[in-house]
Amino acid sequence: MRPFLTVYGHVCLDQIMTLERFPEPNTSVDILAKHRYFGGTGANIATVAAALGVPTALVSYVGSDLPEDFRESMAARGVDLSEVVTVDGYETSTVLIVTDAHQNQIAYVYQGPMRSMGDFELLTARASESKVVHISTGRPEYYLPLMEKLRSMGKEISFDPAQEVHHIWSAETFPRGIALADTFFCNANELRTALRYMGAQRPEGLLDHVGTLITTRGAEGSVAYTAEGTRAVPAARPDRVVDPTGAGDAFRAGYYAGRYYGHGLEECLAYGNSAASFVLEAKGGVGKVPTWEMVEERAAPVLDRL
């Protein structure tokens, strides 16, 4: 099946720790819990999107140590892994995510082969067949030529560097990336960095460079900015909040599921908020993956208020 969505981004082994508060430098603090999960922006978005029924391909570079059950868990949900490439001499990307009692997070990232992806040949077989290509975490030296090539093919491109907007992208490379995209995804912190790079004061200022800006606001829901105006959609209510890891990735997957099933922008935001709410209820980025029916049911009260 041709993919509707192709996602570029990390496949990671997430080491998630929780503590009461972040320590000061040169001090220590007790870790209250520690777990290992399957994660990575690319893997999370692709896994949830495929589980929601969206034909999805994943493009990523991994080490030879990638656990087979990680690969099997993605394949079992329908993710096309034909362009997930094993690179000898590297360990798979690893992220140490530390969360405090207020749900603040700090992430420490070992990039693995994704750090060297600028040295690799561009992979476009699945993207060339897709309706939408989602560019997430990874190196500008790979993604900028990739986005130029995809643009020449007439592909719809979403640009979503996530937390890497702060330290991998720069005031030189970020403007080139957003100019090649149709949609820019970010959260509130990432938006501030994007505005600084672009010399803009307000989110609407980015619309001089990209057609649609979508920003997630945690418990406040999500907002889309377009030339036609601003649309804000409230969050869906989770049964409980356990771990915020991967909620933003699930939002993107829910948003694309809405697109795939033919819904409008506000509805897609509501479905994204709904998908994110399920991920909040369990540890890990894909600890609780909903079905499309579950997402529709939880989004219904939000849609009734729009």
Q: Which two tokens stand for residue 203?
A: 């989110």
Which residues are tagged catalytic? 249
Q: Are 204 and 231 in contact (CB under 8 A)?
A: no
Round to whole Å and give the CA distance between 303 and 166: 34
Q: Are 83 and 126 in contact (CB under 8 A)?
A: yes
**What radius of gyration do the chain's Cα atoms show?**
18
- The alpha carbon of residue 104 and the mean position of all alpha carbons in its chain are separated, in whole angstroms, by 18
Q: What is the DSSP letter of 236?
A: P
Round to whole Å and give the CA distance between 186 and 193: 10
Place of tokens 């994704």: 114
Backbone CA torsion sign across 105, 106, 112, 114: positive
Question: From edge to edge, which strands make up the β-sheet containing 105-110?
Answer: 33-39, 12-18, 94-99, 105-110
Round to whole Å and give the CA distance between 21 and 44: 27
* Residues 221, 227, 131: CA angle, nearest 5 degrees: 75
State phi, psi for 96 to the nearest 5 degrees: -100, 115
State phi, psi for 208 to the nearest 5 degrees: -70, -15
Q: Are 177 and 197 in contact (CB under 8 A)?
A: no
